[in-house]
Amino acid sequence: MIEAVKDTCNIYIMKNSGVRTFLIKIIRLNLKTLLINWFTKGNRKNNLIIVKSKFTSFIHHNAEINLNKGNLILNDTMRVSEPFVGMLEMQNNSTINVQGEFIVNSGMHIIVLDNAKLNLGSGYINRNVKIRCSNEITIGKNVAISENVTIWDSDGHAIIGRENDMTKPVFIGNHVWIGNNVTILKGVQIGDNSVIAAGSVVIKDIPANCLAGGTPAKILKQDINWQ
């Protein structure tokens, strides 16, 4: 009887590729991956939030992570022995929207505050990124963001007399390459296909197809592209 049940289950799984794929995914997951997918709200469309390596999270019960066309891989590592601990904090009514496969490497420190939105396209962010989203941060498709990058859409503290100017959305376009140790501050828009040189501090908009660098960042070359 038991063998007959096993055979029936095996036949069902083999005939249903969706079930088979789902079971394979489940087998490969760790406990933190299972918990974050189970307890975090959002539309996944058969995609997963995959947690790698050392990771801690603080996610409000009203927060959402929505995945459209790919998985969100958090605190990924190139080596098992990497010491960098990742952290994700999502406060009340905060949202992360992901439109494609997106990888955030180890040492990530991402905070999405009350009612804020972090929109991710596709691509990757290298080690030790710091993202603090108070309003809205959008990162486009096919992006390459290097190590130790900081992205903030707020001042952190209000300037007296300019309290209403404390936060402004940040927009990073498609196919943008951001070098090591770059800081991107509130209100900045970076156009498609642009490159930000290592060590830059970006406080003003950078048009599409430009190489920018410096503190503060200025346009160094126009009509460029990269691969």
Dump pLDDT digits (tens) for 210-227. Answer: 999 999 999 999 999 998
Q: Which class does domain 31-222 fall in?
A: mainly beta
pLDDT of residue 18: 59
Tokens representing 107? 């040492």
In the predicted model, what is the mean pLDDT of residues 7-26?
50
In terms of Cα–Cα distance, which of 68, 62, 63, 32 is closest to 50?
Answer: 32
Q: Would you kindly state where each structural domain of the chain is located, as residue ranges?
A: 31-222
Report helix, strand or coil for 155.
coil
In the predicted model, what is the mean pLDDT of residues 52-79?
89
pLDDT of residue 78: 65
- Checking if the pLDDT of 53 tops 50, the result is yes
Element (H, E) at 37: helix 31-39
Dump pLDDT digits (tens) for 66-79. Answer: 999 889 999 887 66
Work out the pLDDT band at 32, boundaries 50, 70, 90. Answer: confident
In the predicted model, what is the mean pLDDT of residues 7-21?
48
Dump pLDDT digits (tens) for 158-178. Answer: 677 676 678 999 999 999 999
Task: Please count the residues of the chain.
Answer: 227
Radius of gyration of the chain (CA): 20
pLDDT of residue 103: 95
pLDDT of residue 7: 43
In terms of Cα–Cα distance, which of 188, 213, 176 is closest to 198?
Answer: 213
- Checking if the pLDDT of 185 tops 80, the result is yes
- Checking if the pLDDT of 179 tops 90, the result is yes
In terms of Cα–Cα distance, which of 214, 206, 207, 209 is closest to 181?
Answer: 214
- Checking if the pLDDT of 83 tops 80, the result is no
Work out the pLDDT band at 22, boundaries 50, 70, 90. Answer: low
The Cα-based distances of 112 to 12, 96, 98, 117, 132 in angstroms read 42, 8, 14, 7, 6
pLDDT of residue 124: 95
In the predicted model, what is the mean pLDDT of residues 180-198?
98
Distance CA 49, CA 65 (A): 8
Instruction: Give percent helix, percent strand, percent coil of the chain, each to the nearest 5.
Output: 15, 35, 50
157 is catalytic: yes
In the predicted model, what is the mean pLDDT of residues 135-143?
98
Given 60, 109, 157, 175, the catalytic residue: 157
Distance CA 96, CA 49 (A): 11
- Checking if the pLDDT of 39 tops 50, the result is yes
